[in-house]
Structure 1
Amino acid sequence: MNQKINACQTENTNNQTPVMLVTGSARRIGAAIVKAAHSQGYHVIIHCHRSEQDADNLADQLNDIRANSAKVIVADLAIVNDGAALESFIEHILKSFGQLDVLVHNASRFYPSPLGSIDRTQWDELFLTNAKAPLLLSQALLPYLKRQQGCIVSLLDIHAHDRPFSNYTVYNMAKAAHRMMVQSLALEMAPEVRVNGVAPGVNILPDPTSDQAIDETQQLDIIRSIPMQRIGTPNEIAHSVLYLVQAQYVTGEIITVDGGRSLTMAGGHL
């Protein structure tokens, strides 16, 4: 685990500006959430594992807009398997701005695990980011979120409930566990801390250079299956996250943001 603080940044233990931590937020949906929160006056903590340069660039951009308002923490979420490493991670989070008001679980691994080829590595990796780390981080940060009467928002998936992807059994199971975590923690953490979720549909396509890339024909098929007739955007997810952060009488809820796709989908392939 490595914590980065830009040279212009200093610890502020008396800060009253709300602070949001977003896991996996150097790029894509996570970055959109960070930017949306920052635009509403939040101090933001950008967590990343491998996308350190992207995280640094995002922090620099936000600090140019408002000095000392964004920091970067680099860590493999496997730190939750090591008590001392997890404690150090929590200490670095709190040292960033002296408090934590919002925790957003966005980091996620996503890849197929076809039946017959499922192994322990896939199980451990997919459950780590999509279920285990969100739970253990929520537990570890609960005292600080309680102090601020804060909240947790989890990024889920429309396929985590009744509509599984074919060949993604382990991912489906992990996201389903995360969904149940949201509802369970909403009960256990009330009334001090609210816990909610956002379930995206196709709000961003896989990187064209990744092993999950979708060709043009597949993209057109997906668009035809969405009542709104377009791919969603990361900003639309960010908007829903910020709504849940501000909705003081909402807990245990999961907002679907999929352009209506779940109304016409029976599960199966992308």
Structure 2
Amino acid sequence: MTQTLKNIQPVTTSAPVMLVTGSAKRIGAAIVRAAHKQGYRVIIHCHHSEQEANALANELNETHAHSAVVIMADLAVVNNSETLEQFTNNIMQAFGQLDVLVHNASRFYPTPLGSIHHDQWDELILSNAKAPLLLSQALYPYLKMQQGCIISLLDIHAHNKPFANYTVYNMAKAAHRMMVQSLALDMAPDVRVNGVAPGVNILPEADSDQALDNEQQNKIISSIPMQRIGIPPEIAHSVLYLVQASYVTGEIITVDGGRSLTLAGGH
């Protein structure tokens, strides 16, 4: 369990700071790019994707010097008070403040009934519920100083429409959804807490064990009223709206092309 702070540079700007967990690629990277384009300094968190995270930071720093840093850590740091404190210190050393925390890091895989075991439970609950809660708690004093906000990436399957064979993931995301609503009460009025629930806004990587063939992709597209797969910038747009929506807290925005209107669960 290691954690390393990368690309730290002295900065003098007063631009707001956003941390996005799991942001080396895909949706997380889209959020980072969109925030950076709007003038944010960004902290790119990664665990295994160090090469992609550093490439993203270098790209952004070429546009605005000293505006992006990388922090590499296994989010299991939250399981120990000392490692969590060190991780928190590394985050705050990056720019000296934190205005927005985005919980994007997530593990996602099926857990068919009959084959569920403790390691799956621990991993899925950690990334999708435990780490977001304990990291929010650790960073709350700093977010409070900035009158900042927290945005969580959830899932349309976390509320009344469970995804078949993904029981542990469904449970973990449902817990995360309740965290959003609970913290919105407990952190008000100093810190707003909201969520974004994607549908099919990005397909699994082609070389992953979750890859979909053309027939599966076409079946999914046919079930979406907008008749297309979403794209990561559409999630980023909703995240940045919630960052700026100063009178919105405890809300979940669904960004799924209307899929949840027709989804009966298990499809």
TM range (shorter): over 0.9
1:40-62 deviation per Cα after TM superposition (whole angstroms, max 9, x unaligned) = 00000000000000000000000
Distance 1:175 1:11 in 2: 37
> After the TM superposition, which residues 191-206 of structure 1 pair with which residues of structure 2 at under 5 Å, given as runs?
191-206=189-204
Distance 1:115 1:16 in 2: 51
What is the aligned-residue identity percentage?
74
> After the TM superposition, which residues 18-97 of structure 1 pair with which residues of structure 2 at under 5 Å, given as runs?
18-97=16-95
Number of the residue aligned with 1:10: 9
Amino acid at match of 2:9: T
- Give 2:162's match in structure 1, choosing from 161, 164, 167: 164
Are 1:15 and 1:97, in contact at CA under 8 Å, matched by a contact in 2? no
Are 1:113 and 1:167, in contact at CA under 8 Å, matched by a contact in 2? yes
TM-superposed CA distance for 1:63, in Å, is: 0.2
TM-superposed CA distance for 1:71, in Å, is: 0.1
1:57-79 deviation per Cα after TM superposition (whole angstroms, max 9, x unaligned) = 00000000000000000000000
Are 1:15 and 1:98, in contact at CA under 8 Å, matched by a contact in 2? no
Q: 5+ residue gaps in structure 1?
A: none
1:77-129 deviation per Cα after TM superposition (whole angstroms, max 9, x unaligned) = 00000111000000010000000000000000000000000000000000000
TM-superposed CA distance for 1:253, in Å, is: 0.3
Secondary structure, in 3 states, of the residue corresponding to 2:43? strand
1:207-234 deviation per Cα after TM superposition (whole angstroms, max 9, x unaligned) = 0110000110010000000000000000
Q: 5+ residue gaps in structure 2?
A: none
Number of the residue aligned with 1:232: 230
TM-superposed CA distance for 1:10, in Å, is: 1.9
Number of the residue aligned with 1:133: 131
Distance 2:40 2:247 in 1: 21
Q: TM-score under structure 2 normalisation?
A: 0.98
Are 2:128 and 2:173, in contact at CA under 8 Å, matched by a contact in 1? yes
Distance 2:176 2:225 in 1: 27
Distance 2:165 2:223 in 1: 20
TM-superposed CA distance for 1:16, in Å, is: 1.9
Distance 2:50 2:163 in 1: 30
